[in-house]
Structure 1
Amino acid sequence: MKHTADIMGIPFPKITMDQSVQILSEVVEKANKELFHVVTGNPEIVMSCQHDKQLRSIVDEAGLVTADGIGIVMVSRLRGGDLPERVTGCDLLYKLLETGNRKRWSFYFLGADELTSQRCAEVIRSDYPNLTIAGRHNGYFNEAEEGRIIEEIRSAAPDFLIVALGAPYAERWIYKHKDILNAKIAMGVGGSLDIIAGTVKRAPKAWQKYHVEWLFRLINQPSRWKRQLILPRFAVKALLYRERNV
């Protein structure tokens, strides 16, 4: 039995949310010197990988690629891949914070604007008092500040580096600096820090249950309509995709 489902050439492991958390827990417990890069593979990243060789290389070298979105899961099932469930960056982050609170993990948060970054840290300290916030910085920095941020992360040596710089920039940033960050695991999480901070409202549970969070976001953020156009394009291309002969 094949343990991955290929979506437009990207292999997604057939694992659940709980299995993903278990994998990352084991990484934290090991003394690996190499950073473990988690890529939350949404339709936008999969589509970009079709023409962006550098991004495709980043995804191919990642330690774990998760099925970020119901579109990925549905396409896999229609093509016989049968991914068990979606493992979104936001949901995975919440699970990691819960587990980290029990296991006393450390986190460094990079991204969002300064007020959101501050508020996010406050919420996490309140809701998950047993984990360690090893540091944080907003996502607006110049080259000189970037060097100081990297040095701060290196000194903190967090279990998790959470990067909310937007996809695929977060993935590129992690990959560019992976040899010097001195974190055990790094993961791009899109706008998840805004959701934790409460500056962006997440879809109610019923919308999540029926997999229409994208519609909720579109209603609340109409400016996203151009970005949302990639979803039907992805569905058509992914369903018609044929492996290239090498």
Structure 2
Amino acid sequence: MAHADCTIPGQRALTGADRPNGNRPIFGIPVTAATSDVMIDELDRLSGAAEAGEPLQVAFLNAHNANLCWENADVAAAFRRGLVLNDGIGLDIATRLLHGEAFPDNLNGTDFVPLYLERTSRIFRIFLLGGTEGVAEKVRAAFQARAPQHRYVGTRHGYFTDREASGVADAIAASGADLVLVALGSPRQELWMSRYLADTGCRIGISVGGLFDFASGTKPRAPALVRRLQCEWVFRLLLEPRRMARRYLRGNFAFLARVARERLAPHSTPVWTRG
């Protein structure tokens, strides 16, 4: 399988010289391998470079999203537009089998995004997009307490139609935001950013998945020990068995089978790469 490097429009490709551990392709999606400290510095650098070019789109790849990328060309293209970080034990298993070593850190969005906002050397004007009515406002209050150096310039719930999507981008642009956190669920959030991030006027957009639910207190996080063991998916499955069973049981099996297939037959290809 041919794997492209992670090139952001308007910027040079990221290489191992930028980051000692380089990129680890998973199903043709280049996933950045770095510690959280290195990635905070890297995002600061890239967000500065994005001021003069195309905005930077950041996404997190887990087993579920990797399955979506395997199956759908549009989803894969949305992930490949920008910077992709690793999320969860499934990606660790995949990179051990495909590349011979684990990722340096688990850079899941629920933990890494608040950490980035707290430690970044940059001051952002932040718009929060997603969740049900009122959730984004609760997240803004939580982030203002944790990372008060930033300005939180707007919020909007994530329940809008495709016809309203362009207007949402216009509202973000009108707010003056330069960073938008998008919690629309995958793959909707990645597809929306792929199409509309440039229209928002933001220099960086980050897909944050379920972060808003946890930061707002709408849903509980797994205990710290469970998170350290990268088994939070088990906790979520126990809390929401009906909703999560298909994703975590059948989905995880499909993901591991596809990793094994790629390991044993390196020239096998995801559905979206086939002619």
TM-score by length of 2: 0.81
Which runs of no fewer than 5 residues in structure 1 stay unpaired?
Answer: none
SS of the residue aligned with 1:12?
strand
Aligned 8 A contact 2:44 2:122 in 1 = no
Distance across 1 between alignment mates of 2:95 and 2:163: 43
Residue by residue over 1:53-102, the C-alpha shift from the partner in whole angstroms, topping out at 9 and shown as x without a partner, is 1122222222x1111111101221133342222211112211122125x6
Unpaired runs of 5+ residues, structure 2, are: 1-15
Contact 1:164 1:190 (C-alpha < 8 Å) held by counterparts: yes
**Identity over aligned pairs, percent:** 25
**Equivalent residues of 2:87, 2:109 under 8 A apart:** yes
* 1:55-134 equivalence runs, <5 A: 55-62=75-82, 64-82=83-101, 83-100=103-120, 103-134=122-153
Residues 69 and 76, structure 2, Cα contact 8 Å, conserved in 1:
yes
State the distance in 2 between where 1:116 and 1:78 align: 39
**AA matched with 1:233:** A
Over 3 Å counting, the alpha-carbon distance change for 1:129 and 1:54 in structure 2 is same
Deviation track 1:24-45 (CA, whole Å, cap 9, x = no partner) reads 1112333223110112111122
Note the aligned Cα RMSD (angstroms): 2.1
Deviations 1:193-217 (A, max 9, x none): 1100011111111111111111111
Aligned to 2:7: none
Q: Which one of the candidate residues 259, 265, 275 is aligned to 1:238?
A: 259
Equivalent pair of 2:169/2:197 in contact (CA under 8 Å): no
Query: How much does 1:16 deviate?
Result: 1.7
Match of 1:35 in 2: 55
* Greater Cα offset, 112-121 or 143-152: 143-152
SS at match of 2:220: coil
Which deviates the most, 28-37 or 85-94? 28-37
Q: Give TM-score, length-normalised by structure 1.
A: 0.90
Opposite residue 211 of structure 1, the aligned amino acid is Q
Is 1:221 matched with 2:244? no
Residues 145-169 of structure 1 deviation map (CA, whole Å, 9 limit, x = unaligned): 5444211211234232110000011
Per the alignment, residue 3 of structure 1 pairs with: 22
Counterpart contact for 2:57–2:206, Cα < 8 Å = yes
Q: Secondary structure in 2 aligned to 1:211? A: coil
